[in-house]
Amino acid sequence: MVRRLAVLMDPIQKLKIHKDSSFAMLLEAQRRGHEVHVFEQRDLGLRNGKAWIRSRRTRVFDNPTRWYEQDEPRIEDASSFDWVLLRKDPPFDAEYLYDTQILERAEALGTLVVNRPAALRDANEKLFTALFPQCCPPTLVARQQSDLREFVLEHGLCVVKVLDSMGGTSIFRVQADDPNLNVILETVTLEGTRAALVQRYIPEIVSGDKRILLIDGEPVPFALARIPKAGEFRGNLARGGSGRGQPLSERDRWICAQVGPELKRRGLIFVGLDVIGDYLTEVNVTSPTCIRELDAQFGLNIAGLLFDRLEAMRS
């Protein structure tokens, strides 16, 4: 049965299609005969209590020189779509918050919004790990620099992050005798006015920061270990890391079993866990990536698994 799909995403003309997971989803939806539309944040609004979208019907091609063509934009009720995928990259700022509130009006009229707007609001990608302390390294979230500094003194080598970053930005490796420790803590907390996260450093990062994808709480059986480049401790692909696929370990599967049921309960249908060594470090819910890399290395069709589930939920 032909369904209508709208995808809220960053500008399609700027995609790097060889590694873009949203593009993989567009290709799969089109392959299945669904009607594909894309739109940006500026194309979403609310009128008389109903969400509307100014979208462009889009055709996509797995061709790095010509990967899309679009019709002229058209305004429609958001509830006219069977699915709306929220694939806008972080930061999760006030504008993103408004998007979730607007799209909740379409959800109320029967559109399946993925991931669920209320769940996105509740699941900060770094703080959400607090629901699963048994899976995580020692972690502190605080605003006062003295609290963060005491944690570093207790645990030695640590990693400090701001809570709304992505792609490895604003992440620092610190230790108690680091002459830059005070200025780093001042910077990440905005002089004590913004919460920051500090976590015991996990030396297994040299073997990769594993991205594990889950669909409705069930893991894809392979992870992409993102290996830091020489002279770097961050494995993010955006920071020059290289991706190496590998089967899930028993510990990886245990972490997924701890986290997956809660994701499913909340309506977080497509999620990426970040695991370093034996520890969960982040739960990515806004626009998880690594579909294309895993598909290429293992002959998978992860977007196909996702649409199998989305179609079943609309049947």
Of the residues 3, 28, 284, 293, only one is catalytic, namely 284
Of the residues 82, 99, 282, 295, only one is catalytic, namely 282
Q: Strands (DSSP E) along 9-118, which ranges?
A: 35-39, 44-47, 50-60, 68-70, 74-77, 83-86, 112-114
Contacts of 250 (CB under 8 A, 6+ apart): none
What DSSP string runs through 261-280? HHHHHHT--EEEEEEETTEE
Distance (Å, whole) CA 2 – CA 212: 30
Question: For this structure, is 266 an active site residue?
Answer: no
Of the residues 3, 87, 88, 211, only one is catalytic, namely 211
Of the residues 107, 252, 274, 295, only one is catalytic, namely 274
Question: For this structure, is 284 an active site residue?
Answer: yes
Task: Assess contact for 241 and 227: CB atoms under 8 A.
Answer: yes
Question: For this structure, is 16 an active site residue?
Answer: no
Of the residues 3, 88, 105, 161, only one is catalytic, namely 161
Question: For this structure, is 274 an active site residue?
Answer: yes
Token pair recorded at residue 37: 């539309």
Question: For this structure, is 234 an active site residue?
Answer: yes
Closest CA to 159 of 133, 132, 181: 181
Of the residues 3, 88, 116, 226, only one is catalytic, namely 226
Question: For this structure, is 264 an active site residue?
Answer: no
Question: For this structure, is 177 an active site residue?
Answer: no
Report strand pairing: 4-8 vs 74-77: unpaired
Of the residues 234, 266, 292, 293, only one is catalytic, namely 234
Question: For this structure, is 31 an active site residue?
Answer: no
Of the residues 87, 88, 126, 266, only one is catalytic, namely 126
Enumerate the active-site residues. 126, 161, 211, 226, 234, 274, 282, 284
